[in-house]
């Protein structure tokens, strides 16, 4: 079912594994040109079976729509917002200024400044308006952080996170073993 946060701009919520169609994470971006950067994070959300909604909410091109999305997200059952933006990346901070939900910003490398502009635009928030910031183009960590937040009150997500961490550890040890052989 089409189950996005705000109707017509929304694509389907992804819920393959959990059988729940209410999105828990809103993944939004300033432009569809940011979508390739978000792919890795979306793959993580799918792997963990987290239902999410996708949207485009530009702080500069659709400011009124962006504020409506921020206003309504919590009431629609969203628990965490992931927001990607490049350049003058005001989207995560502006969403954060309007919603009580945790917002995770993904700085996108979109201009000649190699993503440093996006990173600094997102990370340097004023006191009182916290906005989590992951590395440039690192949507993987944004998704993992969102799942850790969900895992604080959904035990199944925390169990999957523990398994993910264990498998990561085993994979690195295995690589080391091969090098030492
Ligand atoms: C930002 O400007 C977007 O988040 C994107 O990273 C960047 C470029 O957008 P487009 O001109 O490609 O639409 O607002």
Inform me whether the pLDDT recorded for 23 exceeds 70.
yes
CB distance 105 to ligand 1 below 6 Å: no
Tally Cβ neighbours within 10 Å of residue 75: 8
| Atom 5, ligand 1: residue with shortest CA distance | 86
Q: Domains in the chain, start-ordered, CATH in brackets?
A: 7-154 (3.40.50.1970)
| Percent of the chain's residues with pLDDT above 90 | 87
Beta strands in 14-150 (DSSP E): 25-29, 52-56, 80-86, 103-108, 132-133
Take residue 171 and report the two structure tokens written for it: 């994979």
**Are the C-beta atoms of 99 and 70 separated by less than 8 Å?**
yes
pTM of the model: 0.90
Q: Which of 60, 87, 91, 137 to mutate to test the pocket of ligand 1 (most atoms within 8 A of CB)?
A: 87
Report ipTM (2 d.p.).
0.97
Q: Kind of pairing, strands 103-108 and 80-86? A: parallel
| Percent of the chain's residues with pLDDT above 70 | 89
pLDDT in tens, 156-171: 999 999 999 999 999 9
| Average pLDDT value over all residues in the chain | 92
């Amino acid at each position: 079912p089409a189950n996005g946060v705000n109707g017509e701009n929304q694509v389907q919520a992804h819920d393959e594994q959990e059988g729940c169609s209410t999105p828990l994470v809103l993944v939004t971006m300033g432009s569809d040109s940011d979508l390739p950067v978000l792919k890795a994070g979306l793959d993580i959300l799918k792997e963990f079976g987290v239902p999410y909604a996708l949207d485009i909410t530009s702080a500069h091109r659709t400011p009124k729509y962006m504020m409506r999305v921020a206003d309504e997200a919590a009431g629609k059952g969203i628990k965490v917002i992931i927001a990607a933006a490049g350049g003058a990346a005001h989207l995560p901070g502006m969403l954060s200024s309007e919603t009580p939900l945790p917002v995770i910003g993904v700085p996108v490398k979109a201009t000649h400044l190699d993503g440093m502009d996006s990173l600094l635009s997102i990370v340097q928030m004023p006191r009182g308006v916290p906005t989590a910031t992951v590395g440039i183009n690192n949507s993987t960590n944004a998704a993992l952080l969102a799942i850790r937040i969900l895992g604080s009150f959904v035990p199944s997500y925390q169990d999957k996170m523990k398994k993910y961490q264990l498998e990561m550890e085993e994979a690195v040890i295995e690589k080391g073993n091969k090098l030492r052989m």
